Chain A
């Protein structure tokens, strides 16, 4: 397979949309239900993000393959049917063959069905585009979603319990125990941040920060925009 296609203008635009410009959480403000429910810790955010990403790639592929078959009048029931079937399949297979992971993620997987982003990408992208770009879009939107979930989870976890990536070894295996850190020893805890209101507050800060950064990019002279976007993307990675 020719991987250089991933650097073509179209694929780069899809990637930039998913990771930053049109980020699921920060720009579209979608998927708030699973977002607020599971981002109490960075580890949970990561698990939910990865599971969502897998389902999104699969659902975008399924919708894109059958896009000529689906009349627009009945597209929503068909998309919902496809997504619900895929989520259930992921749930069953994880339970059977990756049982340890299922015990950790099991709580979150049924929540994926409620994630409107998956339906949104099926509707806005996969139903109009060929299979490869659709899967790439699902992957990039998923990575952007996971990134935002991990950052939000980390901020909430640090402020609520003073730890970072607690229980990462349960989710990712023993070799990831090094991720588990106690940033603030003897921390008394700040319960608000662990509860849904804390999620809304932190999300507000993140959205505001993103808008500020976008505005700074926008006022720069046009020829520099390309470079500025690159810099900002690095910033986003650094924050994570």
Chain B
């Protein structure tokens, strides 16, 4: 029974505290409003202290905004990129060739000597009833005209290309961007090609004596893509036995 007299007293105290806090807040708002009056600010603006403070304040504000936005969107963006990768893999490996989830079934391989933009490449295995039917992997042509070109390629058991897609690039809009499948059918020309049905000399753009078209006004972009795809096939050949045995 001793707790009853304490309760109203505590409530009273909490109420007082709240009233005090509100009062403080009101006076603070009033002060802030006064401080923000154009006349007052005009007086403050020439002071170096004020200028340093304002600059720091804006930098802090920008940093907080960007930090919060990054935290809020990082997961979503990762998810979107994963969806993109999944969609890209699905474009280069037909669904009827596998019954597993490609993103869950992969091996990391060393690619330090292949000039494919990274030291290790994750190779996704397309398996049907446990047997590897095809593989696909993401790699980079590090020497594109304006910057790196990221590609994804599907290769079947025998080393024939099932499909190639460009995931990202910074090539000239209107010229070099014809490597995207949405802009041109050029990249479909690699389907069915392999190291066996084309000679080393044929793995080049027509200007260099090969079989692949270049674009008018952009030779470097398709040349580098062709060379990177050739290197990608070399990389596959190097690990072919190991990959096919992974099933």
Q: Which residues of B contact A108 (CB under 8 A)?
A: 173
Q: Is A127 an interface residue (CB 8 A)?
A: no
**Nearest chain-A residue to B38 (Cβ)?**
A68
Do residues B76 and A96 form an inter-chain contact, with CB atoms below 8 A?
A: yes
Do residues A191 and B217 form an inter-chain contact, with CB atoms below 8 A?
A: yes
**B177, chain A: closest CB distance, angstroms:** 8
Do residues A73 and B51 form an inter-chain contact, with CB atoms below 8 A?
A: yes
Q: Is A170 an interface residue (CB 8 A)?
A: yes
Q: Which residues of B contact A37 (CB under 8 A)?
A: 173
Known: A68-B38, A71-B46, A194-B217. A107 touches B173 (CB 8 A): yes
Q: Which residues of A contact B77 (CB under 8 A)?
A: 92, 95-96
Q: Which residues of B contact A74 (CB under 8 A)?
A: 51, 54-55
Q: Which residues of B contact A92 (CB under 8 A)?
A: 66, 69-70, 73, 77
**A169, chain B: closest CB distance, angstroms:** 9
Do residues A82 and B58 form an inter-chain contact, with CB atoms below 8 A?
A: yes
Do residues B55 and A189 form an inter-chain contact, with CB atoms below 8 A?
A: no
**B168, chain A: closest CB distance, angstroms:** 8
- Give per-residue flags for B55-88: 1 if the beta carbon is below 8 A from chain A beta carbons, else 0: 1001100100110011011001100100010000
Do residues B174 and A93 form an inter-chain contact, with CB atoms below 8 A?
A: no
Do residues B54 and A78 form an inter-chain contact, with CB atoms below 8 A?
A: yes
Q: Which residues of B contact A78 (CB under 8 A)?
A: 54-55, 58
Number of interface residues of B (CB under 8 A): 32
Q: Which residues of A contact B175 (CB under 8 A)?
A: 40, 194-195
Q: Which residues of B contact A77 (CB under 8 A)?
A: 55
Q: Which residues of B contact A69 (CB under 8 A)?
A: 36, 41, 54
Do residues B174 and A68 form an inter-chain contact, with CB atoms below 8 A?
A: no
Q: Is B45 an interface residue (CB 8 A)?
A: yes
Q: Is A52 an interface residue (CB 8 A)?
A: no
**B145, chain A: closest CB distance, angstroms:** 13
**B60, chain A: closest CB distance, angstroms:** 10
Q: Is A60 an interface residue (CB 8 A)?
A: no
Do residues B62 and A194 form an inter-chain contact, with CB atoms below 8 A?
A: no
Known: A89-B66, A96-B73. A40 touches B173 (CB 8 A): yes
Q: Is B7 an interface residue (CB 8 A)?
A: no
Q: Which residues of A contact B65 (CB under 8 A)?
A: 85, 89
**Nearest chain-A residue to B39 (Cβ)?**
A68
Contact partner, A191, options B38, B45, B216, Cβ 8 Å = B216
**A18, chain B: closest CB distance, angstroms:** 26
Known: A78-B54, A89-B65, A167-B182. A95 touches B73 (CB 8 A): yes
Do residues B216 and A170 form an inter-chain contact, with CB atoms below 8 A?
A: no
Q: How many Å lie between the Cα of A189 and that of B217 in the bound state? A: 10
Q: Is A97 an interface residue (CB 8 A)?
A: yes
Q: Which residues of A contact B46 (CB under 8 A)?
A: 71
**Nearest chain-B residue to A44 (Cβ)?**
B173
**B69, chain A: closest CB distance, angstroms:** 5
**B214, chain A: closest CB distance, angstroms:** 13
**Nearest chain-A residue to B70 (Cβ)?**
A92
Contact partner, A81, options B42, B58, B72, B76, Cβ 8 Å = B58
Q: Is B170 an interface residue (CB 8 A)?
A: yes
**A143, chain B: closest CB distance, angstroms:** 22
Q: Is B25 an interface residue (CB 8 A)?
A: no
Q: Is B50 an interface residue (CB 8 A)?
A: yes
16 contacts between A and B (CB under 8 A): A40-B172, A66-B58, A69-B36, A70-B45, A71-B54, A72-B45, A77-B55, A78-B54, A78-B55, A82-B58, A84-B62, A89-B65, A92-B73, A107-B173, A108-B173, A189-B216
* B residues neighboring A (CB under 8 Å): 36, 38, 41-42, 45-46, 50-51, 54-55, 58-59, 62, 65-66, 69-70, 72-73, 76-77, 80, 84, 170, 172-175, 182-183, 216-217
Beyond A82-B62, A85-B62, 5 extra complex contacts between A and B, CB < 8 Å: A70-B45, A71-B45, A95-B80, A96-B77, A107-B170
